[in-house]
Amino acid sequence: MVLDPTKHQDWEIAEEAESRMKTVYELADTLGLEKEELLPHGHYVAKLDYRKILDRLKDKPDGKYVDVTAITPTPLGEGKSTCAMGLVQGLGKRNKSVVGAIRQPSGGPTMNIKGSAAGGGLAQCIPLTPFSLGLTGDINAIMNAHNLAMVALTSRMQHENNYTDEQLAKRSLKRLDIHPKKVEMGWILDFCAQALRNITIGLGGKMDGYTMQSKFAIAVSSEIMAILSIASDLQDMRDRMGKIVVAYDKQDRPITTADLEVDGAMTAWMVEALNPNLMQSLEGQPVVVHAGPFANIAIGQSSVIADKVALKLADYNVTESGFGADIGFEKFWNLKCRFSGLKPNCAVVVATIRALKCHGGAPIPVPGKPMPEEYGSENVGWVEEGCKNLIHHIETVKKAGINPVVCINAFYTDTDAEIKAVRRLSEAAGARVALSRHWEHGGDGALEFADAVVDACEEPNDFKFLYDLNTPLSKRIELIAKEVYGADGVSYSPEAQTKLKRMENDPELKEMGTCMVKSHLSLSHDPKLKGVPKGWTLPVRDILTYKGAGFVVPVAGAISLMPGTASDPAYRRIDVDVKTGKVKGLF
């Protein structure tokens, strides 16, 4: 029995489907995996030994590489993960060999408003509970590795404050002379905890640490998550781990995790996390889950390793980039593909009629409150005006030389006239268009979508990066702001300007990638500006250094690396059936 998504919640649909799941051993047979390549975590979740798989299949040609991105979303999201799962299921219905590669959800949005990012309706990744609640412990490993670096830093500052150089030497320590106001890192936690954005630590006596201002960020924004996303193997991860800049000394020289002699121990926490996780779609197609979300404040991509494994195991790999094409796809294009050396065959731009209406003048939806009644009535004018945002994202994909496919993620309230308007304007902009009803009908509802992607993958493309690595950092930021966001230019705070000059004069930094931080709710830095804003300047207020990951991080606008929890969070509706132990209320 398949439950009706118009009458049942996502967790109920997932729970019913889980009674018919394939075991990881059946999935392994589907993929042609050998016994030692599968590392089971129970019956329905496993890790994959990527080294053995890639070594065995090194001479096998890669499959087709498809990225799923979106228009600028409403605060409710536009179903990008649902579309990725729908496409995987649709390709499965067309008897294509396919593997999905998606990101592990953060506990922050899972317990807040957005949900677990497993998809929805009849297009989900299952089993839902382990997917949503820690999976095999990758994010926990990231938290331990990251916070160990902060333990090393703060204890070193305490000892240097309490001991003379001679006393430090007896303990085999050299004074690093860390500047307490130039600590780059903070602590991390995998919840949205706004009360921890700014804290004071080390209160008490001299044995209670070094008193100073500190901070928390959400776990998935950690540089270690970025390293997990782009590392090619354990040696690469180990090398990158020692380059993480934790602070600066009083002469403005970087203090790294290697200087603190903590990089080896940090890597030890991450060894198992480097292996991707194997799960499945609601209809039994294999799905590889690895790395984390939040492309507005992080790289926001499933891992390079996951994609390389999926491309060897199947004829199609459907991966996903966070938020809209201005954020997630831009980082997929200019960061992830640069690190991986992989070239995509197609990029899907997900759009919903409700988001197009939002960009076209309808009232902006508020998370936790009922959808404004205007969204239940036909308004082709709003849809047409909102398509300006969609066309902007189509043009971004085309600038990368990739074939775009627009997926209209259908809702039962959409009208034929509204859908026809999206088709007409998208096709005029040079994109293939497919209407998909995977949320309501699963793979059977995604056949048009699957056919459009297969067709796009057969057409040659001319993939190219937006910038070369020898392009000055200021020019790169300007290119992204103008060519991807549509800004007139860039302005810098005094602090950002100082850091920019230092970075452009540092030979180790000036050729690193550029990972922008900005609002996902607008093409601009201001979440209130919908559609395609004109006549604005991107304000860069800070520039962070992720030397281990290999990129610098310009921070635009007022966005925070620690989101806040809303007044009506999801955790109020999550509970456990004490008789069966099953979790209910996840979405």
DSSP string of 331-383?
A: HIIIIIHHHH----SEEEEEE-HHHHHHHHTSPPP-TTSPPPGGGGS--HHHH
572 catalytically annotated: no
Whether the pLDDT of residue 236 is over 90: the answer is yes
Instruction: Name the phi and psi angles at 388, rounded to 5.
Output: -60, -35
52 catalytically annotated: no
Domain with CATH 3.10.410.10 in the chain: 473-556
Tokens 């991860």 belong to residue: 237
As given in the structure block, the two tokens for residue 558 are 């007022």
Catalytic residue among 439, 449, 536, 551: 439
pLDDT tens digit string along 201-214? 999 998 999 999 99
**Is residue 267 within 8 Å of 483, Cβ to Cβ?**
no
Catalytic residue among 295, 314, 450, 487: 295
pLDDT tens digit string along 219-228? 999 999 999 9
Instruction: Name the phi and psi angles at 290, rounded to 5.
Output: -160, 140
Residue 70: strand pairing partners? 350
As given in the structure block, the two tokens for residue 45 are 């979740």
With bands split at pLDDT 50, 70 and 90, how would you rate the model's confidence at 293? confident
Domain with CATH 3.30.1510.10 in the chain: 138-272
Catalytic residue among 64, 114, 336, 547: 114
587 catalytically annotated: no
Give dist(CA 330, CA 153) in Å, integer: 34
- DSSP SS3 for 315: coil
Q: What angle do CA 403, 413, 326 make, to 5 degrees?
A: 35
The yes or no reply on domain 138-272 and CATH 2.130.10.10 is: no
With bands split at pLDDT 50, 70 and 90, how would you rate the model's confidence at 371? confident
With bands split at pLDDT 50, 70 and 90, how would you rate the model's confidence at 144? very high
Catalytic residue among 64, 96, 103, 308: 103
Count of Cβ atoms closer than 10 Å to residue 266 Cβ: 27
pLDDT at 241: 98
Catalytic residue among 93, 338, 399, 411: 411
Whether the pLDDT of residue 511 is over 80: the answer is no
Catalytic residue among 80, 312, 331, 336: 80
465 catalytically annotated: no
114 catalytically annotated: yes
With bands split at pLDDT 50, 70 and 90, how would you rate the model's confidence at 412? confident
pLDDT tens digit string along 298-326? 898 999 999 999 999 999 999 999 889 99
Q: How many residues does the chain have?
A: 587
Give the single-character DSSP code of 196.
G
pLDDT at 532: 97
Catalytic residue among 323, 329, 551, 587: 323
Give dist(CA 294, CA 226) in Å, integer: 11
Give dist(CA 389, CA 534) in Å, integer: 12
80 catalytically annotated: yes
Cis peptide before 127 (omega within 30 of 0): yes
**Mean predicted confidence (pLDDT) in 571-580:** 94
Q: What angle do CA 187, 188, 193 make, to 5 degrees?
A: 110
Architecture of domain 473-556: Roll (3.10)
Helix segments in 163-216, DSSP class H: 165-170
82 catalytically annotated: yes
Give dist(CA 150, CA 146) in Å, integer: 7
295 catalytically annotated: yes
- DSSP SS3 for 50: helix
As given in the structure block, the two tokens for residue 442 are 């699963």
